[in-house]
């Protein structure tokens, strides 16, 4: 999937706006998703800053079935990931189009070419208005987290009053817990904390018919290799079920 915008902003508000169609797509594939794991690189100008830590806590307001999020940052300079590959494919296609003598004169032309020629990539547009809308929802007075540059994992849970910050990704120690493996950095306040579990929409009331459409063919090219230093526990945690 790839989101496109004529607005060139790369700040937290624009990342929020670009994330929403991605979340919509995920939820369309499966309405029952309650946990989202993000994997991104870690420039503090984009993904790793106090605004993003706030936005992580707000994503459940778009899809109420989302109750847990982990955001995992790869170390700076650790090479490119799958998302960069998609971006490169999109740009290469536009380049080829120009090489073959056609014009890509403006954003709409670019969108049309990409949308019609790239069969395996879902393309969504994000408008500047959507970015401005998100910007208005970000509080101006957010406290920075001391040690932001050491943060490599943020864990959010709707039912936990604190957002947990770690120096490395750990999936063995739960959100709100101090990591037994020495990766704990601190907490920040979860501004979207739900005290009462009953306030959450009952996910079983969703229409499950679209699930039938979600069958997709996966080839070796779709496989993602985890190259970061991440601890993964393969057992499902059932704390909130
Ligand atoms: Zn741990």
Per-residue pLDDT of 167-188, as tens digits, reads: 999 999 999 999 999 999 999 9
Tell me how far apart the alpha carbons of residues 112 and 116 are, in angstroms, rounded to a whole number: 6
**How far, in Å, is the centroid of ligand 1 from the Cα of 172?**
5
**How far, in Å, is the centroid of ligand 1 from the Cα of 179?**
4
**How far, in Å, is the centroid of ligand 1 from the Cα of 166?**
9
**How far, in Å, is the centroid of ligand 1 from the Cα of 225?**
22
**What integer pLDDT is reported at residue 236 of this predicted model?**
54
**What integer pLDDT is reported at residue 43 of this predicted model?**
79
Rounded to whole angstroms, the maximal C-alpha distance in the chain is 61
**How far, in Å, is the centroid of ligand 1 from the Cα of 75?**
18
Tell me how far apart the alpha carbons of residues 118 and 153 are, in angstroms, rounded to a whole number: 33
* Confidence band, pLDDT 50/70/90 cuts, at residue 151: very high
**How far, in Å, is the centroid of ligand 1 from the Cα of 232?**
10
**How far, in Å, is the centroid of ligand 1 from the Cα of 165?**
11
**What integer pLDDT is reported at residue 218 of this predicted model?**
43
**How far, in Å, is the centroid of ligand 1 from the Cα of 174?**
8
List, for residues 81-115, the tens digit of each pLDDT value: 777 889 899 999 999 999 999 899 999 999 999 99
Q: Is residue 153 exposed (0-12), middle (13-18) or buried (19+ Cβ within 10 Å)? A: buried
pLDDT(199) > 50: no
Mention every residue, 6+ apart, whose C-beta is less than 8 A from residue 205: none
**What integer pLDDT is reported at residue 147 of this predicted model?**
92
**What integer pLDDT is reported at residue 234 of this predicted model?**
52
pLDDT(41) > 90: no
**How far, in Å, is the centroid of ligand 1 from the Cα of 84?**
29
pLDDT(53) > 70: yes
**How far, in Å, is the centroid of ligand 1 from the Cα of 182?**
7
């Amino acid at each position: 999937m790839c989101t496109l915008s004529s607005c060139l902003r790369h700040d937290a508000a624009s990342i929020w706006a670009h994330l929403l169609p991605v979340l919509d797509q995920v939820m369309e594939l499966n309405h029952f998703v309650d946990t989202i794991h993000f994997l991104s690189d870690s420039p503090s100008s984009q993904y790793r800053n106090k605004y993003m830590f706030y936005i992580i806590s707000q994503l459940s307001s778009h899809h109420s079935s989302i109750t847990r999020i982990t955001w995992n940052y790869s170390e700076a300079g650790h090479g490119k990931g799958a998302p960069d590959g998609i971006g490169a494919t999109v740009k290469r296609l536009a380049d080829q189009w120009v090489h073959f003598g056609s014009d890509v004169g403006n954003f709409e032309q670019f969108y049309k070419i990409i949308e019609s020629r790239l069969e395996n990539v879902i393309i969504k547009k994000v408008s500047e208005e959507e970015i401005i809308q998100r910007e208005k929802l970000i509080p101006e007075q957010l406290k920075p987290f001391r040690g932001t540059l050491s943060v490599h994992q943020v864990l959010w849970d709707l039912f936990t009053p604190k957002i947990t910050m770690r120096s490395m990704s750990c999936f063995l120690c739960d959100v709100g817990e101090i990591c037994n493996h020495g990766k704990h950095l601190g907490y920040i306040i979860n501004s979207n904390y739900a005290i009462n579990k009953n306030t959450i929409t009952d996910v079983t009331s969703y229409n499950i018919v679209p699930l039938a459409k979600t069958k997709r063919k996966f080839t070796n090219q779709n496989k993602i290799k985890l190259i970061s230093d991440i601890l993964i526990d393969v057992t499902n945690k059932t704390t909130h079920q």
